[in-house]
Chains A and B, each alone.
Chain A
């Protein structure tokens, strides 16, 4: 996926409004209209269920965020070797890495999730060795499968990004590192990886927002994230729109916070010329 596509799919820091140009006459009118809409939604729709579910919503948000950050970190750790071997590895590493990326990127995440949960989940109990191992209490729960599926998916997309980033680091910089007598590992650690991550950072941020947008899928395998809590609300109160609107609002806030954080970090990294 190219930079521009990630930008088209996920909110990125440059989309945030600039303060100085934000307030214009027509915007004030639009905002008043929007405010009226919000007030109408708050007054005419039913929100009396909200206080009862607030604690559960909070823990649901925490689960969603935990899923997001753990899978993004684990996925990135997998993506670095995936990208690296595709640029410089021998063919017997390059081919499986490319195959992995193609297969994961070519099939829907929901299908992968269900394959892991229902497929592996139905397979594991048939092996006594697994059933008696220390992992079994975890494997009986749903979240390890969600974690695995999201991590693999993030790793595949990110591996492709890192491949481009590793390949895009100017050869001269690597030659300079070699000329200074750096070993391969030192060169990778000091020059190649930081430069590649720097190049990939905007795309990485976009992919992380995309990953946040993928996390509600784990609710389909009974992980109680914020989406699952809202589904529960919908079942118990027979309301259709109110919980979903709240859910959309929650995700917009989460995305907004994520994007603002990314802008902060992007601005802290010095770039030449800018």
Chain B
């Protein structure tokens, strides 16, 4: 770096002259050490079970826990010592590594957005994780964990300002002077909305977790939960009262079990929704969309509007009856692992239209744009293929049953009937797949009970491909695949002429603008 950058932030230890690299917040090593304690739990439990014969097992387990904790803490401390970042004129540089050193430079122009994330422990300590999304995806993204909240905010402002070409060296006062103008709230969810949302997010995931735990217990406690003898023994012993109950009571038991299932599922859904989407706020700021949400882990993400590549509107078959839809935007940056950003997870269509408009998109094609269906030949062929798969299964089943004599080969008819049903379903679903090419956007609609709508901006597409398999070639239809930054967009079974017409039109739009004009 040539020019020194003066750093107005005085609270960090070590360096006040920003020409020198900075460290993350000293407490961050403590956070990592605490998080590392989780690693100590499993060895402790394992050690305890392995040595439970001996009276000193508990001490051995504790000892192992302490050793692991000390190791983690030590490692965290050294990696904190060796991790430095430097906010330069043109890029952010990070050096890290205890034994091997890694240096990385991320130019400001390549940073798609800066997101702040606070998990529970860092939040208590007033720390924040700053992530720089470059489109590299997942683990390759640069993250600074953890910085003081104020430092995180400052860094975000610096990156935004530098990206916009505010000259670095002289402009530090200006950087601080960049104050977010009062933002317009595009979408927010209150408690009542969250509760409704949570009910629709009904989930039995908790049972999967329980099953996993059982497996874990089995491994360590040497109890075979799947072993019938274990249960037979249990019913004969402590569980004998269950077997002694009459059939009515047993049916009641099943019903109450189902009710419990529903209650647990709903509560899981509500809890998960509240944890994830508490205080959901989507704002339109000068720089783009800003989304804040989270109860224990708070996230704060800014997405520049011009980086929105496409919109995805989806729903569920039940929630659609009540008019609830969700809207996501596709951009190069990732949203904590997911490819597209939730901007309004649970809203009425009327609430989504202004958001789409603010993103520079539209949810409805303009007047005079026709919706097109796929090729009828594609409908027939896909139904035949679906049926053929089941036919093969039925033949295999019939042969198997005839040879083994286990049951009547007529059972194969069930597979055949299923094949017929699926083929009919395929024929039926074809009626609900549409595409439309508007003046600016390309719309793709799919699905019957829970329709999905994808809206892509014509100029923001990257490439166009027409694919034909052997059957498609003979029957004159094709699949159109569009290159979309950060997502996928394809339409199956288009008549070849329609696919070619779409390609010509879209290419005409694309070729008119250069990529750099899309991302100012």
Q: A and B: real partners?
A: no
Q: Which residues of A contact B (CB under 8 A)?
A: none
Q: Which residues of B contact A (CB under 8 A)?
A: none
